[in-house]
Amino acid sequence: MNEKKCYSVKDIQSILGISRPTAYGLLKRQEFKWIRVGQRYVISKASFDRWLNGSEMPEPAAEC
């Protein structure tokens, strides 16, 4: 059985239980890796799954 290597916007909407505008907001903030193929956005499953599990957190700001 072939496991998905990419998600669609609709997939992440379903996984997270969020609206379409919210899903596109995550793409705009570059929360995980994605590419645009024609009119579609293709989200890296590996990158999304790491983000979802908290492994892809932004680097904390250096303390002064």
Residue 21 lies in a domain: yes
Residue 15 lies in a domain: yes
Residue 64 lies in a domain: no
**Which domain range does residue 12 map to?**
6-52
Tell me the whole-structure pTM to 2 decimals: 0.74
Q: What share of the chain is helix, strand, coil (3-state, %, to 5)?
A: 40, 15, 45
> Which DSSP letter does residue 6 get?
E
Residue 32 lies in a domain: yes
Question: What mean pLDDT value characterizes the chain?
Answer: 85
Q: What share of the chain has pLDDT > 90, as a percent?
A: 67
Residue 64 binned pLDDT confidence (cut-offs 50, 70, 90)? very low
Question: Quick check: 1 pLDDT over 80?
Answer: no
